[in-house]
Amino acid sequence: MREVFINRNFREMRELEVLIQEFGEHARVDIVDTVFYKGTEFPLYCLVLGNNKPENPSVGFFGGVHGLERIGSDVVLSYLHTILELIRWDKVFQRRLEESSLVFMPIVNPVGIAIKSRANGQGVDLMRNSPVNCEDATLPMVSGQTYSNKLPWYRGNFTESMEKEAEALCRVVKKYLWPSKVSMAIDVHSGFGARDRFWFPYAHTKKPFPFVAEAYAFTELLDQTYPHHIYEIEPVSRQYTIQGDLWDHLFLQHMGQQNRNFFLPWTLEMGSWNWLRKNPLQLFNRWGVFHPIKPHRRSRTLRRHLALFDFVHRSCLSPGAWLGLRKLERQRLEKLALEKWYD
Ligand SMILES: [Zn+2]
């Protein structure tokens, strides 16, 4: 059989390793695990910035869970680059980091990027790999299947343990986000639809998410602060439901612990159909469906979400603006949320 060369040093990995060097003592670097593919070794890097004391809020940024959606990694790396510069000169930002922490896992599935696959090296779709089952799957196969790792959306053998990459993501969330009084995560994906969507759970059921009132209050705050923002905010289940979602898994575990800390995971699903509409030839490129190929469109995508990331960080630092709702206010917002997002 012909030897296949696996490039460990793809662009995003090179960029991340340069950033790690440049952050130096400003970042705590954690190699959460290592994955192997055909003899090549890939580190799963996590960077922690700021002050990770439990009373401080924290925000986690995740990218590249699906290898084909490498633009997700690029977007997270682009934010890391901006932060590296802010740390160097912005006194206000430096103070913010004394009171909070930012956690980054820009390349969750390096093998997927290296071999141009949505799945990891074992053919498992990491976002279908948790033990959470779907009560009312809306899309057969796409929702997650257990037939074969030769077909997409394979859930893997999650009964024993999840895949290394999925476990690593969960470890990072538990170690660096859960101890905080307030924490949020943003997992960056691309590919679904023409709009940029900012999704809160659930993905496994059409039942309302327990914190719809808080999600509604967060949305109102974003609408008021950035009236012209581009995001459609909604629960994932408004578009589809899936098996094995990692964020549902983490959220349910967190709830199950009767944890008094507030943890809210978001998925940023960047609509890629616009890139396709404007450049249909992309369809014939392996990356094309999920990645903007033209340089100007890539640049636009890399700068497009910086305000949102900054807003999420600020909203965690000032939770009084939207969290800690009193009972009556919570009931009112819950009613509005149910009308807005659920049948
Ligand atoms: Zn994805």
Residues 275-296: tens digit of each pLDDT: 666 666 565 566 656 777 778 8
Give distance in angstroms: CA of 60 to centre of ligand 1: 17
For residue 277, what are the contacts with CB-CB under 8 A and spacing of at least 6? 194
Give distance in angstroms: CA of 63 to centre of ligand 1: 9
Phi, psi of 102 (to 5 degrees): -120, 130
Distance between CA atoms of 155 and 123, rounded to whole angstroms? 9
Structure tokens that stand for 320 in this block: 């009084």
Q: Would you say residue 182 has pLDDT above 80?
A: yes
Give distance in angstroms: CA of 232 to centre of ligand 1: 17
Structure tokens that stand for 41 in this block: 């070794």
Give distance in angstroms: CA of 237 to centre of ligand 1: 15
Give distance in angstroms: CA of 327 to centre of ligand 1: 36
CATH for 11-341, options being 3.40.630.10, 3.30.1370.60, 3.50.30.30, 3.40.50.720: 3.40.630.10
Give distance in angstroms: CA of 292 to centre of ligand 1: 15
**Mean pLDDT value across residues 86-103:** 97
Tens digit of pLDDT for each residue in 128-146?
A: 999 999 877 777 888 898 8
Write down the domain spans for the chain. 11-341
Distance between CA atoms of 194 and 236, rounded to whole angstroms? 15
Give distance in angstroms: CA of 191 to centre of ligand 1: 7
Distance between CA atoms of 194 and 5, rounded to whole angstroms? 35
Give distance in angstroms: CA of 118 to centre of ligand 1: 8
Distance between CA atoms of 26 and 152, rounded to whole angstroms? 39
**Side chain identity, residue 159:** T
Mean pLDDT of the chain: 92
Distance between CA atoms of 316 and 101, rounded to whole angstroms? 10
Model's pTM, two decimal places? 0.94
Give distance in angstroms: CA of 65 to centre of ligand 1: 7
Give distance in angstroms: CA of 73 to centre of ligand 1: 11
For residue 317, what are the contacts with CB-CB under 8 A and spacing of at least 6? 57, 96, 99, 100
Query: Do residues 318 and 311 touch, judged by C-beta distance below 8 A?
Result: no
Output the pLDDT for position 299.
85
Give distance in angstroms: CA of 8 to centre of ligand 1: 21
Output the pLDDT for position 288.
59
Distance between CA atoms of 4 and 166, rounded to whole angstroms? 26
